[in-house]
Amino acid sequence: MMTSAIAGFGLGLSLIVAIGAQNLFVLRQGIRRQHVLAVAVICAASDAALIMLGVSGIGLVLQSVPWLIDVVRWAGALFLATYAVLAARRALRPSGAALRAGSGAEEGVAATGAGPTTAGTRVALAPVVLTCLALTWLNPHVYLDTVFLLGSIASTHGETRWLFAAGAMLASFCWFFGLAYGARHLGRWLSTPTAWRVLDGAIAVVMLVIAISLVLPH
């Protein structure tokens, strides 16, 4: 029985660790120290829900409506491309508030010995939650990994498939909470406006590459 749980944990972790749009968003929020708990909970709970759907057998049902995956694929590509443009704009033309936050962060590091508490104006919870949900539920790779792949492999474990699913869910919770709260320690290296411009530039490139890959023929 434990073998199934360990197998689920290992496979779940191997699928989720790869750099992607969702992980980059979690990383950025963790570094900014803004709504970290909400972001980690949404990502982990969403993964758990999708894994449950896959293990319950709904993945087999979805295979009969392939057009649904195409809809999600194009919607996800459009959203990621938009996010990439916004990140590129932040990198090329940072706002005055972001620049002031960068210099203020340096003072915060000197005064407290910790990383900056923010890297720009504080964003309200609602937009962060909506962005996090979109990056999760409009990403077809999430469905392929959790609903289809994990669901299919879980079915091979027979009566212990739910232990396999529990292991995969635990991997998601460990990863997202570890990434979100571990990212806070990167703040000391991102205490300048230039560092944030580099990070946003990298995010823009990765998001755009993922968006293009979604619409290219497979």
Q: How many CA atoms lie within 13 A of 51 on its CB side?
A: 29
Between 117 and 156, name the one with better pLDDT: 156
* pLDDT band, residue 8 (cuts 50/70/90): confident
Do 147 and 62 form a contact (C-beta atoms < 8 A)? yes
Q: What is the pLDDT of residues 48-93, one digit of tens each?
A: 999 998 888 765 666 666 676 677 678 777 877 887 888 888 888 7
- 40, amino acid identity: A
Do 180 and 39 form a contact (C-beta atoms < 8 A)? yes
* pLDDT band, residue 101 (cuts 50/70/90): very low
| Burial (CB count <10 Å: 0-12, 13-18, 19+), residue 65 | exposed
CA distance 141 to 139: 5
CA distance 148 to 120: 39
Count of C-beta atoms within a 10 Å radius of residue 21: 24
Between 14 and 49, name the one with better pLDDT: 49
List the chain domain ranges: 2-215
Model's pTM, two decimal places? 0.68
The pLDDT, as a whole number, for residue 28 is: 87
- Decide: helix, strand or coil at residue 115: coil
pLDDT value at 191 more than 90: no
Count of C-beta atoms within a 10 Å radius of residue 164: 29
Between 97 and 208, name the one with better pLDDT: 208
> In the predicted model, what is the mean pLDDT of residues 164-175?
92
- 129, amino acid identity: V
- Sorted by sequence, the CB contacts under 8 Å of residue 190 that are 6+ apart come out as 31, 115, 116, 119, 196, 199
CA distance 135 to 176: 14
Q: What is the pLDDT of residues 141-161, one digit of tens each?
A: 788 778 877 777 777 777 888
> In the predicted model, what is the mean pLDDT of residues 187-216?
77
* Percent above pLDDT 90 for the chain: 22
Q: How many CA atoms lie within 13 A of 81 on its CB side?
A: 11
The pLDDT, as a whole number, for residue 175 is: 92
Count of C-beta atoms within a 10 Å radius of residue 72: 18
